[in-house]
């Protein structure tokens, strides 16, 4: 595809899909709703050859053509920041992100992000994600460490975005959660939306977007579990919201689990207080990532062990059972 001419996409609505056109295109192409609405206003989205309206509903079998203009020149400064690149070729780059690093620039975080570092280390990133998030296919929270894949061209970006949507990308996280699961494995199927009372938080809501998380206990500690968590969808704060929703917030979570350990009684309360004191951040790590290579189709699989700060906490927890 000619990068200078922008990108053209032909999307077919599959059985079971529906809803507003702007939301559908936003989710399919991993574009912000604002950007999709701008494309609609410019006549760059068509249904069966006619200009589309943002509010109309999509139906299975409908074919939607989207023309995305070339991205504006990226004005993000490239920065020589430490970056753990675990794999790179002409299409993709896989990074083991450090905790504390924001993935892409946003208000309040114009520099010091993973994108700033990628622009230094990797000169050719896809522009599909927009000028503030070139190459980024999926994200991790600032305080979550672990594996991410970024695209180096638009074709790879679109392939990986489609694979994510079709649930063909395996993402396994390690999380320490307060209390003990009554059932393991456990599937949490609960839609997520912005919290109406606090826009910085997410919450389970009947009018939210579908969200499915699968949880399995790996280790049972005194007053917490070490969990394998698999994402079937990728909503903002999904693991944190879902685990808090079922009564087992992530250890070290300042938003959805703050002070949880103080409510514990009995002889295990001192253990819980000490675990909380020793945990330096959110105990959440993207440990496994697997997908088909966007060009060759070859199965790609990557693992990242717990970083030193969380590994030390886990060792203490095991030794005090």
Q: Which two tokens stand for residue 266?
A: 């009995």
**CA 139 remoteness from chain centre:** 4
CA dihedral 203, 207, 211, 214 (to 10 degrees): 70
Report which DSSP code applies to 263: G
Measure the CA–CA gap between 297 and 28, rounded to whole angstroms: 20
Cα 110 to Cα 116: distance, rounded to the nearest angstrom = 9
Using alpha carbons, select from 98, 97, 129, 103 the residue that is nearest to residue 116: 103
Pair of tokens at residue 258 = 């703050």
DSSP 137: S
User: In terms of DSSP H, where are the helices of the chain?
Assistant: 21-29, 33-41, 114-121, 154-165, 238-245, 269-278, 308-319
> How many CB atoms neighbour CB 108 within 10 A?
6
Q: Do residues 116 and 95 lie in contact, with contact meaning Cβ atoms separated by under 8 Å?
A: no
Q: Tokens for 79?
A: 């920065």
DSSP 8-state code for residue 150: E
Tokens 């499915």 found at: 212
Residues labelled as active-site residues: 141
293 contacts: CB under 8 Å, gap ≥ 6: 91, 92, 299, 300
């Amino acid at each position: 595809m000619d990068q200078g001419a922008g990108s053209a996409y032909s999307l077919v609505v599959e059985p079971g899909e529906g809803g507003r056109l702007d939301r559908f295109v936003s989710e399919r192409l991993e574009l912000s709703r604002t950007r999709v609405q701008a494309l609609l206003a410019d006549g760059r989205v068509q249904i069966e050859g006619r200009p589309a309206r943002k509010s109309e509903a999509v139906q299975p079998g409908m074919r939607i053509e989207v023309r995305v203009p070339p991205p504006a020149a990226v004005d993000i400064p490239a920065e020589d920041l430490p970056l753990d690149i675990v794999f790179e070729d002409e299409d993709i780059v896989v990074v083991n992100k450090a905790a504390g690093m924001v993935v892409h620039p946003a208000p309040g975080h114009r520099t010091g992000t993973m994108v700033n570092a990628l622009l230094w280390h990797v000169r050719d990133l896809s522009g599909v994600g927009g000028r503030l998030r070139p190459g980024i296919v999926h994200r991790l929270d600032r305080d979550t460490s672990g594996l991410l894949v970024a695209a180096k061209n638009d074709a790879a970006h679109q392939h990986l975005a489609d694979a994510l949507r079709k649930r063909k990308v395996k993402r396994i996280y390690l999380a320490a959660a307060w209390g003990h699961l009554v059932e393991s494995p456990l599937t949490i199927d609960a839609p997520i939306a912005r919290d109406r009372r606090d826009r910085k938080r997410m919450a389970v809501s009947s009018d939210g977007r579908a969200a499915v998380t699968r949880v399995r206990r790996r280790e049972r500690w005194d007053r917490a579990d070490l969990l394998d968590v698999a994402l079937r969808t990728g909503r903002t704060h999904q693991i944190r919201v879902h685990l808090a929703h079922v009564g087992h917030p992530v250890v070290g979570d300042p938003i959805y689990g703050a002070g949880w350990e103080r409510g514990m009684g009995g002889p295990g309360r001192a253990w819980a207080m000490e675990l909380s004191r020793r945990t330096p951040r959110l105990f959440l790590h993207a440990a496994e990532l697997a997908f088909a290579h966007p060009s060759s189709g070859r199965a790609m699989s990557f693992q990242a062990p717990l970083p030193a700060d969380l590994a030390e906490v886990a060792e203490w927890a095991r030794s005090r059972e």
